[in-house]
Structure 1
Amino acid sequence: MSTELPMRVLHTIHSLDPLHGGTSYGLRGMVEGLLKKGIETEILVLDNEARPWLAEWPCKVHAAGCGIGRFGYNKKFDAMLARIVNSFDLAVVHGLWQYHGLATRRECLKAGVPYAVFPHGMLDEWFSKVYAWKHLLKQIYWGCVENKVLRDAAVVFFTTDDEFEAGRDTFSPFAVRPAIAPFGIQPPAHTTEEFSAGFHRRVPGFFGKRTLLFLSRIHPKKGCDLLIEGFARWHASLPPESQNDWHLRIVGPSDSDDFLEHLRSMAATHRLAERGLITFVGNVGGEDKWQEISQADALVLPSHQENFGVIIAEALACGVPVLISNKVNGWHAIQESGAGLVEQDTVEGVVKLFQRWERLTADAVTSMRRAATQYFAGRMSSDVGAQAFCSIVQDLETEKHPQRFSTEVEAHTRSRSERA
């Protein structure tokens, strides 16, 4: 199907609440990119119709209401999906382990409408190692339901090669038709300079500071504890005359009051807050978010697991280099492009990130900022993501289906090769 011809795409997702993380932000970028290409796009979601964030979307949103528990079972979702699915050329499931995926598979198979799946990093083996008991429950559900959702999809979209490699051996059986299609975002409406000036008007006292910014959900997988410990160790090694030049700003909603209190306690132990070296901000959105990013010296994200990382795309869109761990999918390309620095997801790795960043010359920083902007334009904009998605869907229409990948077939092939 030519991407210039009319096409209708329905996205199904558990929630569009921005507090749930980057998936809703990434989906917004994808929707905006598809709309620019003339592709009619709607969303069916398990949110209550009155939720304020639904009115902010640029496309029609069908709100079925919240389902039961975190799984989200909802008969109204079934009825709405059955009523509208025939009017679309393709359905796209966002996320795993919840009812909307099961329902979308069932109704699409009934209606003869092809569907695709974006796992959004939810197959990553990190979760199985850290939450072993949850992994056992998921393996049971996988065997009964979830593997069929991916198996019967026309295509399963991974945002990077790293995401596919990190998830293909986590559950068994595993059979998908994989394709790579990055999520993307729209660039900010104003220039970095305008947003930065707005930040300093809104938050006086930071002008001249070299701010290291963490902006994401405050969650153990994000490496927030490594960040605070690593910052404290690195900062203590700086010459006294330059120590007041630096500030760590932690911005984002917390999944757990206990974990947030633990981080505050760590900061207090190192006297970071007392000396004015760290600020916990809480959640921000809209222009305030872009202001936070634009004024930063660098974005720091030492995650133990990170899929696409919408905040990384947002930072690069503002020309802000990223200091990340090698557990962030796509880190190879970011490192090779010169748009950021990469180290291990350990305290020592965080210290090295800060050391390497602090030692860069002004010219090197300028070059990295330029590389960040170029990387965003070439790999993480909504236009790039939408084009990749459309190209793959066009191949589906011409029956050029992605080759099915199966861990069982791969193991059998490897075994035969080894015997030979």
Structure 2
Amino acid sequence: MKVLHVIAGMDPKMGGVCQAVRTIVAGLADLGVDNEVVSLDAPDASFLADDSFRTHALGPAKGPWGYSAKLIPWLLDNFAHFDCVIAHGLWLYPTYAVEKAIRQAKSQGPVPRLYIMPHGMLDPYFQRATGRKIKALRNWAYWKLIEGRVINNADAILFTCEAERLLAREPFRPYHPKRDVVVGLGVEEPPAYTPAMRDAFLKHCPELEHQPYLLFLSRIHEKKGVDLLLNAYLKIAAEPVPVAATALPQKNDPAQLVVAGPGLETAYGQQMQQLASGNKNPQAVISFPGMLTGLAKWGAFYHCEAFVLPSHQENFGIAVVEALACRKPVLISNQVNIWREIEEAGGGIVADDTADGAQAMLAQWMQLSPEEKLAMGEHARACFVRNFATGPAANRLLEAIAK
């Protein structure tokens, strides 16, 4: 089988969708599937050289819609080489172009099967969130004109978890896909730990050489609840929480906090740095190393006490699963769609995506004894193996697209 993946861009700075595509391609390749990607990146984009699969970069795209006049002609010329097409993401030109090209090609003969993987972009959060009223109206109009046809004409819609599938039914009408299938999303095993990972991380955060820390690793964006995290951390730091009776010392000073990811240059990112700079507690240190990749990223994971993400909306959370794979407990909101699997496995702490929820989550973590934290880490690893390893997810996806 040969599969074409269509995506707006493969730049790692764009967030989780491009990483999901890389993981999906790797999982399918292990099952003998031949994969290619077409994107609207610039052909000379440096990050494309890091991928082992072939990417047809037809960009750079123009405007916020991500338009490229090259895409539909390329699709029409190359459909015959593929058994199926998976379009990743919604609301941009590439998904529209794929569906339109499929309709045009049908008059000429057989066409590949078309699957849409929304990656959480049908979540009702985006229609209900404060400050998104204009965008919500725009999405309704776009749904009526374009996206509804894309979804309802596809051979199937592929979801990463059951929560995503159910939430996708809420925001738009008419919504009647031919099939909606939960295929999951596997995350590759992290590389085995090496001292070089620690060294690479400490180049970004030398102040943490002998200090425990909590790790946030995602985009610095309002949706991720960074403000909730910082405010909760600063409050906890001002009034340390007593530890469990079996733990020493008698007062549980807060671990330091690493807020890593792209977006520090945005207005929101600058606000978060200003908020952190107001901290006067020498025991509570907040570090902003920027985006961590490669060895530095894995060093951050392996050496943290726990991973924290009080997000207002998270379809899957690849970084959450990477933390689980590294035996790290995860402190997450119940708006991360895989929270049920994690809570059931005992691999973390789950709370509301509110100020009180974030503070309670950190307080609960601090009250755990070292033995309880270690046990939670083992449960985290078991949760990864059972629910999020690449093999089972790739098998489910292959079964879905082979029909």
In the superposition, the TM-score normalised over structure 2's length comes to 0.91
Select the residue among 333, 340, 360 that pairs with 2:368.
360
Q: Which amino acid aligns with 2:187?
A: I
Superposed, 1:13-412 pairs within 5 Å as 13-109=7-103, 110-111=105-106, 112-130=111-129, 131-176=132-177, 177-191=179-193, 195-196=197-198, 199-200=201-202, 203-238=205-240, 242=251, 246-254=255-263, 257-271=266-280, 277-394=285-402, 396=403
How far 1:14 sits from its partner (Å)?
0.2
Q: Provide the rounded CA distance (Å) in 2 between the counterparts of 1:245 and 1:259.
A: 25
Query: Unaligned 5+ residue runs, structure 2?
Result: 243-248
Q: Provide the rounded CA distance (Å) in 2 between the counterparts of 1:192 and 1:212.
A: 20
Contact 1:305 1:327 in 2 (8 A): yes
1:403 matched residue in structure 2:
none
Bigger drift between 47-56 and 207-216 goes to 207-216
- Size of the aligned set, in residue pairs, is 388
Alpha-carbon distance change, 276 to 245 in structure 1, aligned in 2, over 3 angstroms: closer
Per-residue CA distance 1:255-299 (angstroms, 9 max, x = gap): 762111211222223335x66611111111111111111111011
Q: Which amino acid aligns with 1:180?
A: V
Q: Provide the rounded CA distance (Å) in 1 between the counterparts of 2:203 and 2:234.
A: 28
Q: Which amino acid aligns with 2:226?
A: C
Q: Which amino acid aligns with 1:136?
A: L
Alpha-carbon distance change, 361 to 193 in structure 1, aligned in 2, over 3 angstroms: farther
Q: Provide the rounded CA distance (Å) in 1 between the counterparts of 2:114 and 2:361.
A: 42
Q: Provide the rounded CA distance (Å) in 2 between the counterparts of 1:174 and 1:309.
A: 25
Query: Unaligned 5+ residue runs, structure 1?
Result: 1-6, 397-420
Contact 1:250 1:278 in 2 (8 A): yes
Q: Which amino acid aligns with 1:128?
A: Q
Alpha-carbon distance change, 265 to 202 in structure 1, aligned in 2, over 3 angstroms: closer
How far 1:243 sits from its partner (Å)?
6.3
The structure with the greater share of residues assigned to helix is: 1
Question: With CA pairs under 8 Å and 6+ residues apart, which has the higher RCO, 1 or 2?
Answer: 1
Q: Which amino acid aligns with 2:308?
A: V
- Determine helix, strand or coil for the equivalent of 1:9: strand
Contact 1:219 1:256 in 2 (8 A): no
Contact 2:158 2:183 in 1 (8 A): yes
Q: Which amino acid aligns with 1:237?
A: E
Q: Provide the rounded CA distance (Å) in 2 between the counterparts of 1:344 and 1:270.
A: 25
Q: Which amino acid aligns with 2:193?
A: T
How far 1:49 sits from its partner (Å)?
0.5
How far 1:170 sits from its partner (Å)?
0.7
Q: Provide the rounded CA distance (Å) in 2 between the counterparts of 1:124 and 1:206.
A: 37
Q: Provide the rounded CA distance (Å) in 1 between the counterparts of 2:204 and 2:279.
A: 28
Per-residue CA distance 1:305-342 (angstroms, 9 max, x = gap): 00111111111111111000011101111101111110
Q: Which amino acid aligns with 2:395?
A: Q
- Determine helix, strand or coil for the equivalent of 2:331: strand
Contact 1:235 1:243 in 2 (8 A): no
How far 1:197 sits from its partner (Å)?
6.2
Q: Provide the rounded CA distance (Å) in 2 between the counterparts of 1:30 and 1:329.
A: 19
Alpha-carbon distance change, 101 to 223 in structure 1, aligned in 2, over 3 angstroms: same
Q: Which amino acid aligns with 1:124?
A: D
Q: Provide the rounded CA distance (Å) in 1 between the counterparts of 2:80 and 2:241.
A: 66
Q: Provide the rounded CA distance (Å) in 2 between the counterparts of 1:168 and 1:239.
A: 42
Contact 1:182 1:308 in 2 (8 A): no
Q: Which amino acid aligns with 2:352?
A: Q
Contact 1:10 1:92 in 2 (8 A): yes
How far 1:108 sits from its partner (Å)?
2.4
Per-residue CA distance 1:100-143 (angstroms, 9 max, x = gap): 11111122232421110111111111111121111111111101
